């Protein structure tokens, strides 16, 4: 995991606003952490959920940030991956479902 992703996850865990380079974490009125990459909303992390977005860009950097969030705040085995140019969400039971922006994991 990249240093910036570790700092991002620390900010999420500590419920802090944080920004470095192209990545930012802000707290909303509900106390949920919203993660932005280049100003595009890519995730919301709440106490009992994670909501994933592609921010309009299914880039390697977006995928890396989402996977860093899932590895720290999700269930072991969850990940975003690409196959034949399409994104999927790998679940903890080994299955995969098509990724769509706004999907919510409880």
The per-residue pLDDT string of the chain (106 residues; one tens digit each, 9 = 90 and over) reads 899 999 999 999 999 999 999 999 999 999 999 999 999 999 999 999 999 999 888 999 999 999 999 999 999 999 999 999 999 999 999 999 999 999 999 8
Number of domains in the chain: 1
- Given this model, what pLDDT does residue 1 score? 81
Q: In this structure, what token pair is assigned to residue 23?
A: 């990545």
Global confidence as pTM = 0.95
In this structure, are residues 49 and 104 in contact, taking their beta carbons and an 8 Å threshold? yes
Domain that holds residue 55: 3-105
- Given this model, what pLDDT does residue 106 score? 87
Neighbouring CB atoms inside 10 A of 48's CB total 6
Q: What is the DSSP letter of 67?
A: H
């Amino acid at each position: 995991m990249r240093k910036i992703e570790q700092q991002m996850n620390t900010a999420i865990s500590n419920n802090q606003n944080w920004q470095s380079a192209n990545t930012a974490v802000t707290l909303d009125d509900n106390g949920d952490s919203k993660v932005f990459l280049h100003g595009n909303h890519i995730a919301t992390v709440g106490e009992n959920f994670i909501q994933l977005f592609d921010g309009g860009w299914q880039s390697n950097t977006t995928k890396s940030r989402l996977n860093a969030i899932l590895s720290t705040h999700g269930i072991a085995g969850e990940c975003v991956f690409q196959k034949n140019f399409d994104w999927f969400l790998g679940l903890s039971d080994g299955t995969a479902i098509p990724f769509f922006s706004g999907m919510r994991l409880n």
